[in-house]
Structures are given as C-alpha cells and as structure tokens.
Amino acid sequence: MSQSPRPSKQMNTPKPTISATKAPVTTPFKVSFPAATASPKASAKAPTLPPKKEKPLKHYSGNILRQRKEGLRRVDEAERRLTYTEQLEQLQELIAIERMNPTLDPWSGPSQLLDLHIPVTKSYKPNATFRDHAHEWNLMLQNYVRNVASMWRMAKSNAFPDVNVKSPWSFQIFKAASPSNAWLAPFLAIAQKTCVQAEDALANLDEKAMKRISSGAYQDEWVSRIRALSSMKELHTIKRDVIHVKPTRVVSIRATEAYLGADEPKIGNRLLVQACVMHDRVQAISFYNKEGKKITREGAIALNQELEHKRMVDFLVLEKKMWYDSPWTIRDSLHPGVKPKFSSA
C-alpha cells in the first residue's frame, strides 16, 4: 500500500518528490524534479546516432557464397579424413595378414587405375570457350609435372627395365614423352611388342595368349570378344594386314609405392608403374568365311571384297608391379578428352 507523506512545517525549500503511485504496466518508473531545481544537463537531449547504412545485397551474397564454400570445404575434409582412415585400416589389415601368414601375399590383388591423362591442346567439348581450352592446358601442365615426379621415383629405385640408372638427377626425367629418352627406350620396345601380340591374339582367336599379356578390364573385354567371334558359325579366319606402324611413345606415366610391407621385397622394388602409350598404325582387319569370302561382323557377305586399310590409334595402359618377376601387361585403354582425377599418384 502507498501512504501519503505527512504534512510538515519545514517544506519551504522544494525537494524532489518521488511519485510512488502505482504506474500502469506500459509506463516505466519515473523520477520527477520541480522546474526550479531542474538541471540543464538533465534537460539536455541525448545525442542521436546517425542511422546505420544498410550494406548492399552484394555483400550479403558474397558472405553467403563464402560460407557455402567454407562448408563444402569442411565436408570435403571430413570425407577425405574418413577415406584416409579407411585406407589406413585396410593397410593395417594387410600388414597383419602378411605377419600372420608369411606364405600369403596380400599385395598381389588388383590395383587401381592411376591418374593417367592424354594431353590435348584443345577442348573436345562442343562450342568450347577459351576457358575450356585453358582448362585443358592446365591438365596438360599437371600431367607433365606428374610425369617428371614419376620418372624421378623410377630412377631413384632403378626401376627402368634393362637400364642401370646411376643418379636420378638427370635431364632424362623431363623427357618422358620424348621418343629419344634413353631410360625409356627398352620399355618402349617392350610396349610395342606387347601391343602387337595383343592384336595377333585377337586375329588368331587365341584366348590363352590374350590372358597372358593382359589384365583387368582390358582382359575381360577382349576375352569376351574372342569368345563372341569364336561362336560365329560363318567366321573361318581373320586376316590382319599392317602396312605402317609408328614407334610407340609414352604420353603419361605414373609410379607410386604400392608394396607397403614391413620388409623390403625379395626382388625388384616397391613401385607400381603404369604407363599410357600411344599405339599408332595403319592396318586392315578382315573376316572370311570357309569359302574365302569377306564377311561383316554380323556374318553377312561384304559388298566390298578388297582390303580397307585404316589408321588406328589406341592409348593403352601398361602395368607392372615391380616386386614381381612378371611381364608388362595391358590393363586398360584411355580416350582423349576424358577428364582425369589427379589424386592417386
């Protein structure tokens, strides 16, 4: 309850009175002074700040884009850490298997296709812009840098066939795509011989020979083709006529450590080497029936019975695990204009 102040004689000098009456909910608590005792400072108006200028919409959109990129970057890092964790767990499992079972080789499984790339000077996209062409130039530069790094790894491990490298610091590491590279000359001869053997195996419908010089997806594809051709009733022989073969050359090469055992391999080194070679030739492949007439792939008699020579260019991937005494095998084929993923080696 509020009580009214008692009257007093000594109230000549005005004193501030406090209005203690119950104010409504919307009215705040007030302290009032008489007009005679009002202070000029108290009566002065409080300075008003200028209104804040609203930032343009572009600033907010830029912040949103930055936040989105930052969020995507964090998600990518989380996925990458998860991937690395899974890879580390798989590696630990392989090492444990090797220790518990010395007779079992955990490093003999199939390998992943590395980041090989066919360098091109222009984009294959329809209506390609300057940005598309610049992107291909960037990929070509990245492929060159990775070629140099892989050549250095092979030279450091002395992994070139039939070549004794004394020091990895040589100008040869910068000439992976050159046909005059002395370190790769024996390998190029092996690569060309392997490519010719694969074509001969197809012409002779020799499934065993194809399995001996191929692996992976390439072997599955061409063995299935040999079986399909062998099942054709109309097919009797396949003739292959070659009139010109260009020297095989390397367009992309990768070397990475894939043997991660605790001990060094008994032979060779720890590297897994994959090289994409360009196999360029002019040849004619013809199918004939028992009567000696040229037929089509469907088994019908061809209208043109003459040989049709065509230029054929294949980009084949040869692979070798350097800790095995095994031949180089064709494991895959690449096509120009396919975007690579530079992450493996």
Phi, psi of 145 (to 5 degrees): -65, -40
Distance separating alpha carbons of residues 17 and 285, to the nearest angstrom: 115
Cβ proximity of 190 and 165 under 8 Å: no
- For every residue of 50-77, which 3-state class applies, written as one string? CCCCCCCHHHHHHHHHHHHHHHHHHHHH
21 exposure class (CB count in 10 Å sphere: 0-12, 13-18, 19+): exposed
Domains of the chain: 112-224+242-288+308-334 (3.10.450)
Dihedral of the alpha carbons of 114, 120, 126, 130, in degrees to the nearest 10:
110
Q: What is the pLDDT along the chain (345 residues), one digit of tens a residue?
A: 445 455 544 445 555 555 444 445 444 544 444 444 444 444 455 555 555 554 444 444 445 555 555 555 555 555 555 565 666 666 666 666 556 555 556 556 677 888 899 998 888 888 888 888 898 899 899 999 999 999 999 999 888 988 888 888 888 899 888 888 889 999 999 999 999 999 999 888 999 999 999 998 889 889 998 998 888 888 888 888 888 888 899 999 999 988 877 778 888 888 999 999 999 999 888 888 888 888 887 778 888 888 888 899 999 999 999 988 889 999 988 888 766 554 443
Q: Which amino acid is at 176?
A: A
| 29 contact partners, CB below 8 Å, separation of at least 6 | 23
Instruction: Report CA dihedral (100, 105, 107, 108) to the nearest 10 degrees.
Output: -150
Supply the pTM of this predicted model: 0.67
